[in-house]
Amino acid sequence: MSIGREPEETDLAATGEPQEWFHALAAARARQTFGKSVFVRGVVEVSNFCRENCRYCGMRRDHRDLGRYRADADELAELLVHHRPSSLTDINIQSGEDPVAARDVVLPLVRTLRRETTLGISVCLGTLSSSLTRDLLEAGASVNIIKFEIADAARYDAMEAPGTLAERTGEIRRLAAEGWRVSSGFIAGLPGQTAADALANLRLAASLPLSGCSVSPFIPGDETPLSGAESGTLDLTLNCMAAMRLMRPDWVIPAVSALNLAGPGTGYRRGLRTGANLCTINLTPERVRNDYLLYKRDRFIMNEQRILEAIASEGLEVSRASLADHLADKRGEPVLA
Ligand code: SF4
């Protein structure tokens, strides 16, 4: 692990010229570590059933009007084995916290992808039993994304995030010990969040056994208890990303698509200009996208063309190595042929 500069509260409030300088420093640090390479992965959402009730999320279980679905493993396998965009090296399989989908859809899909492709496989499925995470790891997934979202335990409880903060960070440690490369994430600009809270997010991330971490701006969902709240700002989100890049130069830090919601037209590219080194192409089949609230804002879906244009416009290049191989290589483990 490469340890860099400790973040400071003033970093997170930077604007104007000092902010430009700060972001350029973070981008330079990313280039020093990764060259011009940016990892490109695809994401498929396999289920929007969720047993959790996070106040900031439109998939929470109390949102009873949402049409729920689970994808078909064979249909997704056909898409990913035979019709995936050529630029992607990894796939992230994502869902609400739905152990049924994890067992019946994700596990067979991971087995098929491992048999038929050399794609790196990440999962983002919430907290699952250790027998299920072990099965997923044995089947060929290697990166587990489990976000802590909020570093303050009382605020975590108030937002009805999954379990307790201690359980969530315990799960991150358990997964890392089980052999996963773990990535986490947190939200910038949740209602009531102070600069000290934002800094605490970075410090908690630094204390965990992570290979990467995301920062997502808070975007109030229409169908959530926070629907009337202000969005998180692009400035705060990018300042957190820059501070994180300088804090952990070797972490994989994604440019999340919500950057375009916080900063229409420019947000995503500014993420790449602030030290992000991972882009995600959305591959969720169109007919189920309407059940994902975010997709009602169709123009913000990051398809292959938009991702490749953003990467090229910033003078960057698509990595030929997969994220999974990069992380395996760092641990001295064999990479896939
Ligand atoms: S953030 Fe995740 S765990 Fe929480 S309600 Fe949404 S899908 Fe479920």
269 neighbors 54 (Cβ within 8 angstroms): no
CB 234 within 8 A of CB 267: yes
Q: Is the CB of 63 under 6 A from ligand 1?
A: no
Q: What is the mean pLDDT of residues 150-167?
A: 97
317: part of which helix (H) or strand (E)? strand 317-318
Q: Which atom of ligand 1 is nearest to the CA of 161?
A: 4
Indicate whether 212 belongs to any domain. Answer: yes
What CATH number is associated with residue 302? 3.20.20.70
- pLDDT at position 293: 47
Q: Mean pLDDT across the stretch 65-83?
A: 92
- What is the model's pLDDT at position 136? 98
Whether 316 maps to a domain, the answer reads yes
Domain membership of residue 243 (yes or no) is yes
Flag whether 49 is in a domain: yes
Query: What would the two tokens of residue 45 be?
Result: 């959402």
Quick: pLDDT tens for 96-125. Answer: 999 999 999 999 999 999 999 999 999 999
Q: Are 107 and 72 contacting, i.e. CB atoms less than 8 angstroms apart?
A: no
CA atoms of 48 and 94, how far apart (whole Å) = 9
DSSP of 284-316: --HHHHTTSGGGGSGGG---HHHHHHHHHHTT-
Q: Give, for ligand 1, the residue of 45, 47, 54, 294 to mutate: max count of ligand atoms closer than 8 Å to Cβ.
A: 54
pLDDT bin (cut points 50, 70, 90) of residue 216 is very high
> Given a cut of 50, is residue 227 above it in pLDDT?
yes
pLDDT bracket for residue 291 (50, 70, 90): low
Any alpha helices (H) in the chain, and if so which ranges? 16-34, 73-82, 99-101, 107-116, 130-139, 153-158, 165-178, 195-207, 234-247, 259-262, 267-272, 286-289, 304-313, 323-330
Domain presence at residue 114 = yes
pLDDT at 170 over 60: yes
Domain count, the chain: 1
139 in a domain, yes or no?
yes
Residue 126 lies in a domain: yes
CA of 50 to the centre of ligand 1 (A): 6
pLDDT at 324 over 60: yes
For Cα atoms 77, 50, 279, give the angle at the middle one, nearest 5 degrees.
55
User: Residue 286 sits in which domain range?
Assistant: 9-330
pTM: 0.94
Mutation probe of ligand 1 site: the residue of 51, 57, 100 with most atoms within 8 A of C-beta: 57
Res 334 pLDDT > 70? no
The answer to whether residue 45 is domain-embedded is yes
Residue nearest to atom 3 of ligand 1 (CA): 52
In this prediction, residues 200-219 reach a mean pLDDT of: 97
Residue nearest to atom 2 of ligand 1 (CA): 96
Strand partners, 144: 123, 182
Element (H, E) at 42: strand 37-47
